[in-house]
Amino acid sequence: MLSIGGGVGSYYLASSEDTRQIATYLWNKFLGGQSSSRPLGEAVLDGIDFDIEGGTSQHWDELAKYLSQYSTRGKKVCLTAAPQCPFPDAWKGGALKTGLFNYAWVQFYNNPPCQYSSGMHGNNGSHLFMPQIFS
């Protein structure tokens, strides 16, 4: 799994064409595609994790769609995300709504409506978030 994004920096996909090119790059360099220069040598990763915490929210849904199109019967491209709670995540809410993600590692911390605090019972964070993605 290759995680893209992170909590530092500002990153974005400029256009649909840029998004398609990034998907092709990720496929050829890290996933099941072919390239004369692969950063991890012959290692083939099984998916991409979206940890988008800055930049813009545009085109991440398209990236998920382009990457999922590389899936075959024998080899599925796994898509995961590390969204902020509550739903929809400001950066990748549109991508999550595609229904293409296999797992979501929700960041329930640093978000008062969702995080657990001492003495708090019956936290709804996961109830607010999970049915929206996996329904």
Return averaged pLDDT per consecutive 10 residues of the chain, 135 residues in all.
Answer: 88 94 98 95 96 87 97 91 77 82 85 68 56 55
For residue 42, the model assigns a pLDDT of: 93
* Lookup: tokens for 33: 């595609």
Residue 17 catalytic? no
For residue 111, the model assigns a pLDDT of: 74
- Assess if CATH 1.10.150.130 describes domain 2-133: no
> Where do we find the tokens 């990236």?
63
For residue 63, the model assigns a pLDDT of: 97
pTM over 0.85: no
For residue 128, the model assigns a pLDDT of: 56
The domain locations on the chain are: 2-133
For residue 115, the model assigns a pLDDT of: 72
The answer to whether the beta carbons of residues 62 and 16 sit under 8 Å apart is yes
For residue 129, the model assigns a pLDDT of: 57
For residue 54, the model assigns a pLDDT of: 81
